[in-house]
Amino acid sequence: MEKILVIGCSGQIGSELVMTLRSIYGNENVYATDIKYPTDEVRDSGPGQILDVLDFQNLLHYIVRNNITQVYNLAAVLSGNAEKIPLQAWDINMKALINTILAAQQSDAKKLFWPSSIAVFGPTTPRHNTPQLTIMEPNTVYGISKLAGERWGEYYHQKYGIDFRSVRYPGLISYKTEAGGGTTDYAVEIFYEAIRHGRYECFLSADTALPMMFMDDAINNTIRLMQTPGENLTLRSSYNVAGISFTPKQLAESIKKYMPEFKISYKPDFRQAIANSWPASIDDSVARRDWGLTQEYDLDKMTKLMLEKVEEKLK
């Protein structure tokens, strides 16, 4: 019987991941923690509490007391915010990971999912169809912490047998909980502004291509990776995930198919430099081969659903 802990259950990924895991493993077997209050559906459908992953003793106690066997640790300061508080972000991102690894060593929670990101790549990485193994010289605090985290995960797997699993998420697009502090957040904000005001001022330039993925695809693939027999996994650092690559201009054109009056303008800010250092598209053939990464949503299918759901939500 798996007992699963999701750390960061109130965030963009966590609020949806918890509900999907509960539908698979049973509400009572999926524990949800965060330093922020969760959504009503997360709070009301199963166990959980306010818990700070940086507080190691409390974390370990919670894991042992509830016989946790798997942890999804989603706590992180994202790329844009991390640039404003570099050393604090480094501290939070690394400590959150190391605490869950150490807790895994001292408990039965040996299986650990930790999200990495396309931010592990940098300006010297090949920008198109970025390979799984390539030059990695990230120049953002967030990217440096994600790359270091991948190395720590692989190290603890090889040396101490921790069942560490990870994907390099592209930008994630969802309607339930808004993202916060990332460079790819424009691709979520744009839908809210389209519905509210019929227009959007984008903080990236028109032709900035970045890889993105709709949340349902991200959640399904994350769970698929966690359910794959360990012997099939040839990588214990983190798997490339391509998603769909598009520019703000292409996203705006997709929105216009459903909202012809929609208007976009561009006013790049400090996040443009971050986006310029990331890949435009990704090669994820290793993930497809090892654990069957797939994806259901293309740009227009995602746009249509986002517009419908954000409109419903704002009503």
Which residues participate in catalysis according to the annotation?
142
**Hey, what are 103's tokens?**
């807790």
Residue whose entry in the numeric block shows the structure tokens 């010297």: 124
If binding means CB under 6 A, how many residues of this protein chain bind ligand AKB? 11
Q: Cα angle at 90 between 220 and 30, to 5 degrees?
A: 35
- Shorter beta-carbon distance to ligand AKB: residue 70 or 93: 93
Q: Report the residue from 33, 117, 174, 277 that binds ligand AKB according to the rule CB under 6 A.
A: 117
Q: Which is nearer to ligand AKB, 48 or 153 (CB)?
A: 153
Q: Does 78 bind ligand AKB (CB under 6 A)?
A: yes
171, 243, 248, 279: which one binds ligand AKB (CB under 6 A): 171
Q: In 78-102, which positions are buried (b, 16+ CB within 10 angstroms) versus exposed (e)?
A: bbbbbbeeeeebbebbeebbebbbe
Q: Within positions 173 to 232, which residues make up the interface with ligand AKB, using CB under 6 A?
A: 182-184
Binding-site member from 114, 152, 156, 169 for ligand AKB (CB under 6 A): 169
**What backbone phi and psi angles, to 5 degrees, belong to 195?**
-70, -40
Shortest approach of ligand AKB to residue 71 CB, angstroms? 19
Among 21, 53, 75, 118, binds ligand AKB (CB under 6 A): 118
Residue 268 burial by Cβ neighbours in a 10 Å radius (0-12, 13-18, 19+): middle
Question: CB 114 → ligand AKB: shortest distance, Å?
Answer: 13
- The alpha-carbon radius of gyration of the chain (Å, integer) is 19
Applying CB under 6 A, the span of 18-26, 61-69, 117-125, 148-156 interacting with ligand AKB comes to 117-125
β pairing state of 48-50 and 30-34: parallel
From residue 36 to residue 75, the character string flagging contacts with ligand AKB as x (rule: CB under 6 A) and all else as - is ----------------------------------------
Residue nearest to ligand AKB (CB): 182
Residue tagged 């299986």 (tokens) = 111
Q: Is 119 a binder of ligand AKB (CB under 6 A)? A: yes
Q: Which of 163, 156, 151, 152 is nearest to 72 (CA)?
A: 163
Q: SS3 for 239?
A: strand
Measured in whole angstroms, how far is the alpha carbon of residue 137 from the centre of its chain?
20
User: Rule CB under 6 A: is residue 245 a binding residue for ligand AKB?
Assistant: no
- Residues of this chain that bind ligand AKB (CB under 6 A): 78-79, 117-119, 142, 169, 171, 182-184
